[in-house]
Amino acid sequence: MSNPDSSNAFVVLPPLSDHGVIFGKNSDRPQGEVQEIVYFPSDESAHTRKCTYVEVELSGPSKAVILSKPYWMWGAEMGANECGVVIGNVPVLTNNCEGDHDPQVQRLLGTDLVRLGLERSSSASEAVDVITQLLDQYGQGGSCFKDTNFCAHNSFLIADSKCAWVLETIGKHWAAEQVTKGYRNISNVLTITTNIDKKSEELLEYAKASGFWDGNGDFNFSEAFNKKGASSECYEAGKKLLENVTASNNFKETDMFKILRDDQSEICKPYDAKFPTQCSQVSVLSSDRPSVHWFTGTPHAVKSVFKPFVFTKNPTISKHTQCLSENEPHTLHSLHSEAIRKGSQVQNLLRKMEEECVEELNTIINSLGEDLSELDELFKDCVETEVKFYR
């Protein structure tokens, strides 16, 4: 397995933000792996889920979810559910790849675990439990890219309006760190050290028996299990960005847009990169007003615009962010890509639209009561306005 180009996920919590908990993620994937934005309503039935490679037996109702997902797989790179839980994952390379921990064996993908975690949880803490229980039962593995045999373990950033969790996995073993204030980020390297709030059974015994830890001193998860030579450069760059941008103690969604668009640090990768930033998500998670989830649905965050989605009783999203077939990108992706190739300046107009949308939506949400029907077609209207600009 070769080192992946970094995907990155971030979260900022009070007191650095007075706008709730703010989550952001860039999804970097190979050229041609178009990312859809899709919505699935809640489902009261108990049934088997056919994930990307394996079937999973489930019981009980599932939550309504909005997902940013590669067109070819069942799972999702990132997304949110109706309870205000958001999850994003990134691949990590570890030194623990034998037997039940071999990521080349087709099991659950990290992206499958993202979707299952969102469908089955009402809080960030519950999502940690859901994912780790599935991990213990089914394991993880299989190629996470369409046309290459790239296999890895997974790191997850999970958040709700009260806290965030970093969950990092090595085969069926894992460690989790709770974040209740400040900021945190993840990239393609294990980042949990000695601050472990939850862990898999017999993790320390396994680390000692496998020769990854000598048993002396505090157990350091990342030191024990990171693959030799794994680079933390992108993780450190993201951490530095968070430090700088949160210094005002007034962090908001537009600041997370800025972080996800930072191309100097390579947090955002251009359209023509080997692993471009295929889609971006920013979520503002609030306990006293509706949470708002912003998605680009297009590559290269610098040249894309964020469009808002709010869970209402009857939300509608646009057909223009859904692929009709595996060989045909969705309409928004095609029009956006053509505009970039032609050097169109329409993005400047669209960015102005984005700025106005942020201001207007914050004003509207602050004045809304329990009836959110006014926002049913919010995402759909924004997507279709963008499509009209391109055409």
Domain residue spans of the chain: 8-314
Q: What is the pLDDT of residue 2?
A: 46
In angstroms, the CA 212 to CA 223 distance is: 8
Instruction: Give pLDDT, residue 47.
Output: 79
What count of residues does the chain have?
Answer: 391
Residue 282, sorted as left (phi over 0), alpha (psi -120 to 50) or beta, turns out to be beta
Residue 6 has what pLDDT?
A: 66
Q: Which fold has domain 8-314?
A: Penicillin V Acylase; Chain A (3.60.60)
What are the pLDDT digits (tens) for 17-36?
988 999 999 999 999 999 99
Q: How far apart are CA 354 and CA 16, in angstroms?
A: 23
- Point out which residues pair with 49 in neighbouring strands: 56
Phi, psi of 162 (to 5 degrees): -110, -30
- Whether the CB-CB separation of 265 and 210 falls below 8 Å is answered with no
Residue 1's pLDDT is 39
Instruction: Tell me the pLDDT tens digit for each residue of 62-83.
Output: 999 999 999 999 999 999 999 9
Write down the pLDDT at residue 5.
Answer: 61
Question: CA distances (Å), 48 to each of 58, 186, 310, 335, in order?
Answer: 6, 31, 28, 37
Q: What is the pLDDT of residues 81-133, one digit of tens each?
A: 999 999 999 999 999 888 888 999 999 999 999 999 999 999 999 999 999 99
> pLDDT means per 10 residues in the chain (391 residues)?
70 93 96 95 87 92 96 97 98 90 94 98 98 97 90 97 98 97 96 98 95 95 92 93 95 97 95 94 95 97 97 96 90 95 89 96 91 97 96 89
